[in-house]
Amino acid sequence: MSEIINTIFKEFESAKWYDNADRDIAEDILLKHDRTQPENKPLTLEQLRGMDILGWCWVKVLTPINPQKVSGYYQKYECGIEAMKNTYFAGTPGIIYGFAFEDYGKTWLAYRTKLEQEESK
C-alpha cells in the first residue's frame, strides 16, 4: 500500500467520523484506487515509440555522459530526419536531448512517472 494511502488511513484513525459507514466507504475507495494504479515499470521501446508527441515521461539516466543530461521529466519531440529514427528526442522547454534506442536499458530508462526513490531528491 502506498505511503499516501497509509497517511490517509492515519487521518481516518484520528478523525471523529459522524458515521462509521462513511469511513468504510472512504477506505473502500482508497483501497480500490491503490490497486488500480499501474506499477511504474520501465516503458518498452514500443511504448516509447508509440507515445504522443509532446507526451511526458520520467527519464532515468543510468550512465551520465553529459552533465546536463540528468534524470527528470522529459517531453517527447519529433525529428523528421530519417537517419535519426532510432533516437528518442526529449527535452524541456529550450533544451532537447537525443536518447539512442540502442542504449535503452544500458544508459537510460523511461517511466510513466517519477520513481519513488527519486521523490526525496
Sequence letter at residue 106? K
pLDDT score of 49: 87
Tell me the pLDDT of the chain averaged across its residues: 77
What would the pLDDT profile of 88-99 be if each residue is shown by its tens digit? 888 877 788 889
User: CA 24, 26, 29, 35: dihedral to nearest 10 degrees?
Assistant: -80
pLDDT score of 47: 93
**Does the pTM exceed 0.75?**
no
Burial class (CB in 10 A: 0-12, 13-18, 19+), 54: exposed
What would the pLDDT profile of 31-49 be if each residue is shown by its tens digit? 665 555 567 899 999 999 8
